[in-house]
Structure 1
Amino acid sequence: MQSHTDQGAGPDEVLVVLTNTPDADTAARLSLAVLQARAAACVNRLAPVESEYWWQGKLEQAREWPLLIKTTRARYAALEAVIRQHHPYDVPELLAWPVSAGYGPYLEWVRSETAGVPAQAGTAAPGGDARDAAPGTAAPQDQDQQESAS
């Protein structure tokens, strides 16, 4: 397994960002807007959660749909701008965590996609299957297996 310790707080540092939306339709629209702006490489629309929070002096409760977003520090400002433009909340939750370690090829994929340069043709997208690769090419995990078999 190729693990990778991220380089630190430079512009290529991968971030995981959390925001919550009031419903599934808003989550879908916001996810699409973020991806079309190349502000993130991937958005996971998670199952609804029950949230309790203080708002304007009152304790509130709401069902929300979280988005888990993968981007880079260099694209965070663009991501925040897209979310603020399209989010219905006055003060949307926007929390970012740096990724201190992760699978090297995945981290590179996040960097590549957010830089506006698509991943190399013929490789499977993260979460994809090696069969998704272009004919005559092997997905990265297949190449590792082929090398170890040699």
Structure 2
Amino acid sequence: MRDAFWVYVTAENEAEAKLIAKTVVEERLAACANLLGGIQSIYWWEGKVCEGEEVALVLKTSNARKTELIDRIKQLHSYDCPCIVCLPIADGNPGFLSWIAAETS
């Protein structure tokens, strides 16, 4: 079983995404972060369909740090209910997966 997780987050703008990314990497809650850039989002919120621009952010972390990472993102995020989705990494470059574990231990 792999110990690495791919964490997808949406942020209000690039500044917020960078703040989250830098903070969680500096705190070693994530080994690395990728800002994927601007995205168009369409979603239900408070009883209606909303539309807006956001920035997608991908983080890589270990199972041991995943809960702390989620909690920290929620502290830093401007949204009441931020999108934070953790997907287990089933396989990949063993060296990279080991690096994730080492950088978040």
Shorter-chain TM-score: what band? Answer: over 0.9
- Separation (CA, whole Å) in 2 of partners of 1:44 and 1:77: 19
- Separation (CA, whole Å) in 1 of partners of 2:37 and 2:70: 22
Question: Structure 1 residue 102 and structure 2 residue 95: aligned?
Answer: no
- Separation (CA, whole Å) in 1 of partners of 2:21 and 2:48: 29
List structure 1 segments (4+ residues) > 3 angstroms apart after TM superposition. none
Q: Report what 1:36 is aligned to.
A: 26
Q: Which among 98, 112, 121 is matched to residue 102 of structure 2?
A: 112
Structure 1 segment 42-81 matched on structure 2, within 5 A? 42-81=32-71
- Separation (CA, whole Å) in 2 of partners of 1:81 and 1:23: 20
Q: Which among 72, 75, 83 is matched to residue 73 of structure 2?
A: 83
Return the index of the structure with the highest Cα Rg.
Answer: 1
More strand, by proportion: 2
Unaligned runs of 5+ in 1: 1-6, 116-150
Unaligned runs of 5+ in 2: none
Q: How many residues align?
A: 105
- The alignment yields a C-alpha RMSD, in angstroms, of 0.8
Q: Which among 3, 10, 18 is matched to residue 20 of structure 1?
A: 10
Per-residue CA deviations over 1:63-82 (Å, capped at 9, x if unaligned) read 01011010011101110111
